[in-house]
Structure 1
Amino acid sequence: MKCSVVRIPTGSPGDVSALRAAVEDGSIDPRDVVAVLGKTEGNGCVNDFTRGYAVRVLSDFFASRIGEDASRISYVMSGGTEGVLSPHLTVISRKSGAAAGAPATGAKSLAIGVRHTRDFLPEEIGRTAQIEAVADAVREAIAEAGIASAADVHFVQIKCPLLTTDAVREAKARGVQVATEDTYKSMGLSRGASALGAAAALGEIDGAALTDEDVCHAWEKYSEVASTSAGSELSCCEVIVFGNSAESEGPFFIDHGVMKDAIDGDALRRLLDAHPGAELVQVLAKAEADPDGVVRGRRHTMLNDSDINHTRHARAVVGGVLAYVSGDPMIYVSGGAEHQGPAGGGSVAAIFKRTE
């Protein structure tokens, strides 16, 4: 396997001009693309249709290049580019088998695994059924990537569904109860259940002991590498596992850390210091407002703002901190870090390229 990562700036959720240029100059081969992570400039909430719009435009673009084979590509669009965050796409490619070229040398390089869960019923979202399905998909993606150990998994990106009013009404008509009738709250529950699924698959927590009540309550249970993002544009969970493997070759590799709170830029700085001879390619991170309403003993008002959702505040803060540390605002920062790092903190990963 040989994986690569290319960042592409966008002028709007429907802009593929820079992507088209990268394909035409040979920087990206559409036949090798397995996933696209995007930051779109919507509100990142239930009614953020920039995500679905971007997915549709990207699907049409790749279909025009590789036909029906484009349906295998996973599109993870994260809405919200508050503050200095710059809208963009992160295009992930993978060559396998003979197409990868020279065999791996034994050094661990970036490896990618992609899987989808089944579609979920409304009453399963935010509950153990979602946790279990995600855990299975993560395990399958790890195996597909040829990653030998959970210690070599450094980021698990999951795009998950949410509850809409139509879905809630449909469930009621069948006489079943959903986890919540608050569509915005359902985003957090879905993100949290997905993150717990990743944690269970990686052995970070005891998956067999999890209950519905743990989701968005048992904050001591979390994954250090999960990143989950909810949207109305899908009914399943799309799982992308990033890790390093001796079966993979090429100059790219990934490492991760954990932000203890929203201003913990040192978590990324330590990653940069650990790899001084490598080029930073992309930063992937989660952002969260501390549920106790404090950051390092100081009160914040993110949870009390009735005009702007706390996830939007958190994205702006974490995006600014990590953009300063990395020197680049075109980074992937997703809001809502339920069970994705310690309460009030979040997972952070960096993709590097060897220069020697």
Structure 2
Amino acid sequence: MRCQVVKVPSASPSDVIGLRKLVEEGALLPSDVVAVLGKTEGNGCVNDFTRGYATHSLQDFFRGAGGESSISYVMSGGTEGILSPHFTVATRSLANDDAAAEGQKALAIGTARTPSFRPEELGRLAQVEQVANAVKQAMAEAGIEEAADVHFVQIKCPLLTAVEVHDAQQRGLTTVTEDTYKSMGYSRGASALGAALALGEIDGVRDEDICGSWELYSRVASTSAGSELDYCEVVVFGNSSVATGDQFIDHEVMKDAIDGAALMRILQRHPGAEVVQVLAKAEADPTGYVRGRRHTMLNDSDINHTRHARAVVGGVLASLVGDPMIYVSGGAEHQGPAGGGPVAVIFKI
């Protein structure tokens, strides 16, 4: 098995020109594509329709080019600051060469989907448990046997709309919140705890722990909520001895939004390796302080705090790798310690 990642710039959520060029040049085989992670230039909030627009555009392109119907699409809205809109395309194919060298592990990618969720299940244990199952399935598909070999778990999860909240109420049920924006955080948090549970990072979780017990978190989960789906897409990135190829992945955990040292530690561990892509989470510290200094991201009524956080973390990380076309997603509930978040780098040898 050979897994590869390539990133392609986009001029708009519907722009597939770069992808078409790669296919025409023979550099990308549509039938090998298993997942596409995108950064689209919307607001990243409940009404960010650039995510769905991009997903439909990509589905139409790959369907016409011979791609599989099972491709996982994870669109993350918001390219604030210097973040550059783009698509990160992950492929998996049968290797033409021998098995991986003894003792060596290469990039391995697996995908899975949960069943669809009812509105009353979002942000609650039902979501945690289904995501945990999906993470284990994706690991198995990738040939990753040890949790320590998982370095990034990207999850796209649903959110609540006003219509869905009303639907639950009409059936005599409650939702975790009636605030649609807050539902994004609950869904992200439940998904992250599902990954943590699957990887043995936590022993168990209760409903009240979701967006409540911040000491519970995953060191590798990255979750993004959107209205364009009612289930969770799970993409596991790790290293496996059954994988071949010249790419691999490593990760660290940022303690806060300006912890560029976490990324530097990864880069220093692999001198001479080429950076293919950086994947990270961003969050406005819920205490209202960063390293003892007060921040105002949580108090801004004009711009949501997730948008501020993406701009900050994007700037910090891009300055270290010299490339603003990196994947930074906002809202890190239970994804790394409060105020921080995981950062991973895919390298090419």
Same fold by TM (over 0.5)?
A: yes
SS of alignment partner, residue 308 of structure 2: helix
Distance 2:263 2:105 in 1: 21
Match 2:176 to one of 163, 166, 179: 179
Q: CA deviation at 1:144?
A: 1.1
Q: Does 1:232 pair with 2:227?
A: yes
AA paired with 2:150? V
Deviations 1:262-304 (A, max 9, x none): 0000100110110002100000000000000000000000000
Distance 1:262 1:88 in 2: 22
SS of alignment partner, residue 13 of structure 2: coil
Which residue of structure 1 lines up, in the alignment, with residue 21 of structure 2?
21
Q: Does 1:51 pair with 2:51?
A: yes
Which residue of structure 2 lines up, in the alignment, with residue 104 of structure 1?
100
Which residue of structure 2 lines up, in the alignment, with residue 83 of structure 1?
81
Distance 2:26 2:43 in 1: 33
Q: Does 1:213 pair with 2:211?
A: no
AA paired with 1:229? S
In the alignment, is the contact (CA less than 8 A) between 1:195 and 1:223 conserved in 2? yes
Match 1:188 to one of 150, 160, 185: 185
Which residue of structure 1 lines up, in the alignment, with residue 330 of structure 2?
335
TM-score, normalised to structure 1, is 0.97
Distance 1:40 1:101 in 2: 36
Indicate how the Cα distance of structure 1 residues 173 and 41 shifts in structure 2: closer, same or farther if over 3 A, else same.
Answer: same
Deviations 1:202-246 (A, max 9, x none): 000012xx1111011100000000000000000100000000000
Write the mapping of 1:207-356 to structure 2, written as runs, cut at 5 A: 207=204, 210-354=205-349
Which residue of structure 2 lines up, in the alignment, with residue 202 of structure 1?
199
In the alignment, is the contact (CA less than 8 A) between 1:34 and 1:92 conserved in 2? yes
Q: CA deviation at 1:140?
A: 1.0
AA paired with 2:43? N
Percent of aligned pairs with the same amino acid: 71
SS of alignment partner, residue 71 of structure 1: coil
SS of alignment partner, residue 306 of structure 1: coil
How many residues are paired up?
348
SS of alignment partner, residue 72 of structure 1: coil
AA paired with 1:205? I
Distance 2:139 2:177 in 1: 32
Q: CA deviation at 1:101?
A: 3.7
Deviations 1:90-129 (A, max 9, x none): 0000013xx5443222310000110000000000000000
Which residue of structure 1 lines up, in the alignment, with residue 167 of structure 2?
170
Write the mapping of 1:63-142 to structure 2, written as runs, cut at 5 A: 63-66=63-66, 70-96=68-94, 100-106=96-102, 107-142=104-139
AA paired with 1:278? A
AA paired with 2:34? V
SS of alignment partner, residue 345 of structure 2: strand
In the alignment, is the contact (CA less than 8 A) between 1:153 and 1:225 conserved in 2? yes
Distance 1:335 1:301 in 2: 16
AA paired with 1:233? E
SS of alignment partner, residue 342 of structure 2: strand
AA paired with 1:277? G
Which residue of structure 1 lines up, in the alignment, with residue 2 of structure 2?
2
Distance 1:103 1:30 in 2: 24
SS of alignment partner, residue 156 of structure 1: strand
SS of alignment partner, residue 168 of structure 1: helix
AA paired with 2:133? D
AA paired with 2:192? A
Q: CA deviation at 1:59?
A: 0.2
Which structure 2 residue ranges, 5 or more long, are not aligned? none
In the alignment, is the contact (CA less than 8 A) between 1:59 and 1:70 conserved in 2? no
Q: CA deviation at 1:186?
A: 0.2
Which structure 1 residue ranges, 5 or more long, are not aligned? none
Distance 1:71 1:165 in 2: 30
Write the mapping of 1:31-42 to structure 2, written as runs, cut at 5 A: 31-42=31-42
In the alignment, is the contact (CA less than 8 A) between 1:8 and 1:90 conserved in 2? yes
Distance 1:56 1:211 in 2: 36
AA paired with 1:82? E
